[in-house]
Chain A
Amino acid sequence: GAVVSQHPSWVICKSGTSVKIECRSLDFQATTMFWYRQFPKQSLMLMATSNEGSKATYEQGVEKDKFLINHASLTLSTLTVTSAHPEDSSFYICSGRGPYEQYFGPGTRLTVT
């Protein structure tokens, strides 16, 4: 299957700082990418849908000014958590929409201290 990578795989940052997470589709072009967050032992919650060259569509309750998404190319989408707080600590997963299915990245563990 197609491969999606995320970088970094884990990050620890101080409260008030910003963190950028990259999501890359390595062997296919992803016009659409999705960003999810997941708390321990829970399911994935969709945060936003990212389309290349246009503004992201955020799910209800997700602050677009806090979670900045940029999808500048067909193989790269970034999620920036601005002014991070401990409650933003979570597992962030991206996926790229391929021709037949969504391909998920390995996730990024964010810990805000």
Chain B
Amino acid sequence: TQLLEQSPQFLSIQEGENLTVYCNSSSVFSSLQWYRQEPGEGPVLLVTVVTGGEVKKLKRLTFQFGDARKDSSLHITAAQPGDTGLYLCAGVEAGGTSYGKLTFGQGTILTVHP
């Protein structure tokens, strides 16, 4: 069973459309990160959320952490072809002694067509 369920796994949209990616779990996380990865490169951190109910904005990207710290969402407004990539959520389980081990969701492959 996947600890972090990320959906959808694939998303193909037209430039200018909005989209939301979800990350859900039955576990509580002390922090949750969103990454973007290009083919052949390592993941690049977009944001870290730590407080339940927290909302962070990064230009056209809005990240939300659920009140119970079990889920998160990434919303992109007016998507552009440059947003194309693999988006990953990852979290550190609360209360663990795991040296900050990250658990990753399955990833969302986003393709934005011009």
Q: Which residues of A contact B (CB under 8 A)?
A: 1, 4, 32, 34, 41-46, 49, 51, 91, 93, 95, 97, 100-102, 104-107, 109
**Is A44 a contact partner of B99 (Cβ separation < 8 A)?**
no
Q: Which residues of B contact A (CB under 8 A)?
A: 6, 33, 35, 40-45, 48, 86, 88, 90, 98-107, 109
Distance to closest chain A CB from B35 (angstroms)? 8
Distance to closest chain A CB from B8 (angstroms)? 13
Distance to closest chain B CB from A96 (angstroms)? 11
Task: Please measure, in the bound complex, the distance between the C-alpha atom of A93 and the C-alpha atom of B99, giving whole angstroms.
Answer: 18
Q: Which residues of B contact A107 (CB under 8 A)?
A: 40-42
**Is A32 a contact partner of B102 (Cβ separation < 8 A)?**
no
Task: Please measure, in the bound complex, the distance between the C-alpha atom of A79 and the C-alpha atom of B42, giving whole angstroms.
Answer: 17
Q: Which residues of A contact B107 (CB under 8 A)?
A: 41-43
**Is A49 a contact partner of B106 (Cβ separation < 8 A)?**
no
CB-CB nearest in chain B for A33: B99
**Is B41 a contact partner of A51 (Cβ separation < 8 A)?**
no
**Is A44 a contact partner of B101 (Cβ separation < 8 A)?**
no
Given contacts A91-B40, A95-B42, A105-B42, 13 further A-B contacts (CB under 8 A): A32-B100, A43-B88, A43-B107, A44-B104, A46-B101, A49-B99, A49-B101, A93-B43, A97-B100, A101-B48, A104-B42, A104-B43, A107-B41
